[in-house]
Structure 1
Amino acid sequence: MVDEDIYENMQVTEAAPQPKDLWGQSKLQVVEEAVHKLQVSLQPDNASDASAKGSDSLQLLDEAQAGVRMLKDQLGNVSAAYGEIQIRLDISAARAAVQDGCCDVLTKLPRGWRFYGGNLYYFSKGTKSWDEAEQFCVSWNLHLTSVSSQAEQEFLSNETQGKGHWIGLTDRETEGSWRWVDGTEYRADASRGFWAQNEPNYYDPGTDGGEDCVHTEPTKRNLWNDAKCTLRFRWICKQAHR
């Protein structure tokens, strides 16, 4: 069970209330009034008071500039406040994602799922054809497992308990062009050591329907063997790290 203190610390920090628009309106009004007075002052009634108007204009101009500086400073404070709020929201979203991930793992492990390398794997007890097995995984929004490394291959081999299991590798679309159904790139060079000896052997599709789906072969150190997709084996679903 997860320590309750962890959940307490993961609670979302209440965001600071957003600043109201009134302060911005009032400060803008101050600047607008100062500018308006400056415009009026620049239109002397007669030549006799032009000098006085000029002096007043300079004073009003200083007031307007001071108002602009004050407004910029407060806008900077608002920008900083919004930045802090955004950081809090990002942290809250990250905490929620971690909490959801932990709950997912804690829910699935007691049901027979296995956790390795940041991924979750489901090892079936029953048997299905390759298509039925893939459909089962899809019903969980997953796919039959891909294999990306020697370490992952060894993990899967140890967990299969001497039983053949379907994996998500097929060349149905183009004979000899293998692909992973979960979208992982198939790398022929890196995968060469995972095939059993003399596999894949591309059995003649004209006489036996072809061998377009791959399973682990327990009699061959759980290495890969291509077989007819209609055969029934156990299977492995993979939930990749999110």
Structure 2
Amino acid sequence: MSADRHGLRPASSFGTAAGAYAEHRPDYAAAAVRWTLRTAPGPRVLDLGAGTGKLTATLLDPAVVPGAEVVAVEPDPAMLAELRRGLPGARALAGSAESIPLPDGSVDAVLAGNALHWFDLAVAGPEIARVLAPAGILAGLWNLLDDDVAWVAGLADVSGSAAVGPRDTPTAWRRATTDLLPPAGDAWAGRAERAEFPHGQRRTAESLVETLATRAGMLVMPEADRAAATRRIRAYLADQPETAHGEFTLPMRTGVLRVRRT
């Protein structure tokens, strides 16, 4: 996608809203993280493209992943600063998927939360394979709005593709990620595995508006268009019995793609 009139590109837009991202974006379903790491050959985990640490925090939770040795790598300075502020005990490094600041074979799993689609996998694929131990795993995790629920499907229609994009609902995610992971070959064994896990986030109408405002498409929109989209979303949520009064649980799923290094 091209840059907007302010010069921002979607992949590099999140730093402009790092605080809002940290406050409003959801974590990841614990069951999804456990499934992702179930076949990892060891406890060393890299959260790549870690953002403000939404996935890092789950990986560091001993109730979810006992004994994990976690390192987070993030290219955007503002996002990395939020991660370090929110998780001061985490090992967090500046770097990118295309240039990972870790030695060869130093991790057993590489996870990317809502980030894998931003990687240049022609470059990042070999780089990820380099830092993975033999039989290590690469996995992407995405939080999806569950549009099997009628009001969520209506929200997706009203919000438009800038707020609810090509990987933001289960059906769209399955379609958009079909060929995303590196193909089987010298570094990767077999076909990617796919799984989905129920998830949810406690929201109010206003905090859900703020969540959608952190989407890349919204961040790079011209201000007038973003304001119009925000008005549509607010009006829709005010008209739905599920969302008009106080807190509610936003129905979600965490989708996972997983592949193993040879």
TM-score category (smaller protein): under 0.3
More helix by share: 1
Tell me the TM-score normalized by structure 1. 0.24
More strand by share: 2
